[in-house]
Chain A
């Protein structure tokens, strides 16, 4: 598209957050090949996340988890018409440059992959495509937004099939936002210092009562009820990782989670779509995981 009628600008924050706005009320599904991507699209996914192995397999098999192979990413991009996201390792800006060159629509700088940098995240303002980052609390969320993230998601505990961590993270974010809005203005600088978050963003959240970018849920969502729970807790969309393709009937479960996310506040719909789905993925109990096995503590 030439921009003869004006000077068309690409890669602005408005365009990045704008795409995140378009994904609201939807489900973003992890897929590892073109067939799964088609199943996800046919079920009503608003986007797919291309990756080499779903988090449950990364957890089970171990080893270094990297950006998906480009052949696979391209195969998935050509299989569906919805946006395609892909994950890069925390701090691995060259994986991000490659995914942008390939034409991926959204990049997830993800704790699910093995971190490439233990101190710094990617400078997300340097990219044309938008980034999503995980956060366990408001401080992490505002640091990532300060680095240029256009979308925040809870980290939860990926690949666990256990919603407890995502719930904790969502409640921490929304609870802290509420406290900020009630805080006197002269306390905000000290609050920002203690949070380790940019003062301007802390002041903005205190004033508006919400994150400056959309806030989605991820990590441990395995059932329509889990999706409904996260939406009722304030998430604006959900990411489902292992929950779909590690269940006994992925197509049916994917479709049910899509409906549950739209009608999250209607228990009759939630009841109807929860029926006849076969077995969900097997879940892990948090107390059985050692500190070293947790993914959420990466990149904080």
Chain B
């Protein structure tokens, strides 16, 4: 089961994309609901609002615990900002679950928001990917251990580190489900790894 964090933002758009892929998903509004999901999408929205609601609702402790216990995370736009290690413009709290720096609203205001096509490296091969940037943050620095998954205009726009996937654009607003498919596969791979490790499947150990 995939969860979509529904405190604030474009959670409905992520839900529509998961519906299209035929994936079971649920809205997540409380930390206790995290126990029912294997992967969590943190949608676009306002990162300042999202962080306030996450603090009030106990996600500040629950989200890192979810990740540490094998939960897979996917953040788009504001979701990227809250998962990043360092945030600029202005500096604000973030979970630091992916080792990169990000600058908020780096491409300008809404009149500078744009859609275009970038280049993704989802399965090792470079392919074009439609991208929608809305008051988007800019990934300033990918540090060692972080894999580049897409570029736009020479700059990184999607990256992964272990069980954390982030994008500065909104794949959920395009008609191309490949990024969500990639996340769903990350979740499936992690589930497999957990079931192989678990004592139920390996009674001898």
Q: Quick check: A8 and B111 within 8 Å, CB to CB? A: no
Q: Which of A5, A44, A263 contacts B116 (CB 8 A)?
A: A5
Total A-B residue contacts, Cβ distance less than 8 Å: 139
Render B149-163 as a binary contact track against A, CB cut-off 8 A, 1 for contact.
001111000000000
CB of A14 within 8 A of CB of B48, answer no
- The answer to whether A18 touches B113, judged by C-beta atoms less than 8 angstroms apart, is yes
Q: Which residues of chain B come closer than 8 Å to A100, judged between CB atoms?
A: 111
CB < 8 Å neighbour of A8 from B116, B119, B170: B116
- Nearest-CB distance from A288 to chain B (Å)? 36
The SS class assigned to the A binding surface is loop
In the complex where A7-B116, A22-B10, A262-B53 touch, is A46 in contact with B46 (Cβ < 8 A)?
yes
Interfacial chain A residues near B90, Cβ < 8 Å: 81
Q: Which single member of B46, B53, B135, B151 contacts A5 (CB below 8 Å)? A: B151
Question: Does B134 make an interface contact (CB < 8 A)?
Answer: yes
- Report Cα–Cα, A256/B48, bound state, in Å: 16
A100, B80: Cα distance in complex, Å? 28
Instruction: List B contacts of A21 (CB < 8 A).
Output: 9-10, 12-13, 44, 173
What separation, in Å, do the CA atoms of A5 and B77 have in the docked complex? Answer: 20
Task: Take A21-B10, A21-B13 as given contacts and tell me if A8 and B56 are in contact as well, using a CB distance cutoff of 8 Å.
Answer: no
Q: How many residues of A are in contact with the other chain, CB < 8 A?
A: 45
Contacts of A45 in B (CB 8 A): 49
Alpha-carbon separation in the docked complex, A238 to B55 (Å)? 21
Known contacts A24-B9, A44-B48, A262-B29: A6-B135 contact under CB 8 Å: no
**Is A1 close to B, CB under 8 A?**
yes
A interface footprint on B36-70 (CB within 8 Å = 1, 0 otherwise):
00000000111011001100100000000000000
The answer to whether B108 and A6 touch across the interface, beta carbons within 8 angstroms, is no
List of A residues within 8 angstroms of B113 by Cβ? 10, 15, 18-19
- Please tell me if the beta carbons of A44 and B53 are within 8 angstroms of each other in the complex: yes
Cβ B111 vs Cβ A11 within 8 A: yes
- Contact between B11 and A25, CB atoms less than 8 A apart: yes
Complex: A4 Cα to B114 Cα, angstroms = 13
- B12 to nearest A CB, angstroms? 6
- In the bound complex, residues from chain B placing their C-beta under 8 Å from that of A46 are 8, 45-46, 49
A239 to chain B, nearest CB (A): 15
| Closest chain A residue to B131, Cβ basis | A6
Nearest-Cβ distance from residue B203 to partner chain A, whole angstroms: 42
**Which of A3, A24, A41, A83 makes the CB contact (< 8 A) with B135?**
A83
A82 touches B46 (CB 8 A): yes
B126 to chain A, nearest CB (A): 12
Q: Residue of A at shortest CB range from B105?
A: A81
Choose one: B29, B48, B105, B118; the contact of A41 (CB below 8 Å).
Answer: B48
Residue A3 contacts which of B45, B111, B153, B170 (CB distance < 8 angstroms)?
B153
Select one of A2, A4, A12, A259 contacting B53, CB under 8 A.
A259
- B13 and A14: CB pair below 8 A? no
Q: In the complex, which of the residues B44, B49, B117, B173 contacts A258, with contact meaning CB atoms closer than 8 Å? A: B49
A residues engaging B (CB < 8 A)?
A: 1-12, 14-15, 18-19, 21-26, 41, 43-47, 81-83, 100, 103-106, 128-130, 236, 258-259, 262-263, 266
| Known contacts A21-B13, A25-B11, then 4 further A-B pairs from the complex at CB < 8 Å, ordered by chain A residue | A5-B118, A6-B152, A26-B45, A83-B109
What are 20 A-B residue pairs whose CB atoms fall within 8 Å in the complex? Answer: A4-B154, A5-B119, A5-B152, A6-B153, A8-B115, A8-B116, A9-B115, A14-B173, A19-B134, A21-B13, A22-B10, A22-B45, A22-B46, A23-B45, A23-B46, A26-B9, A43-B52, A45-B49, A106-B110, A262-B7
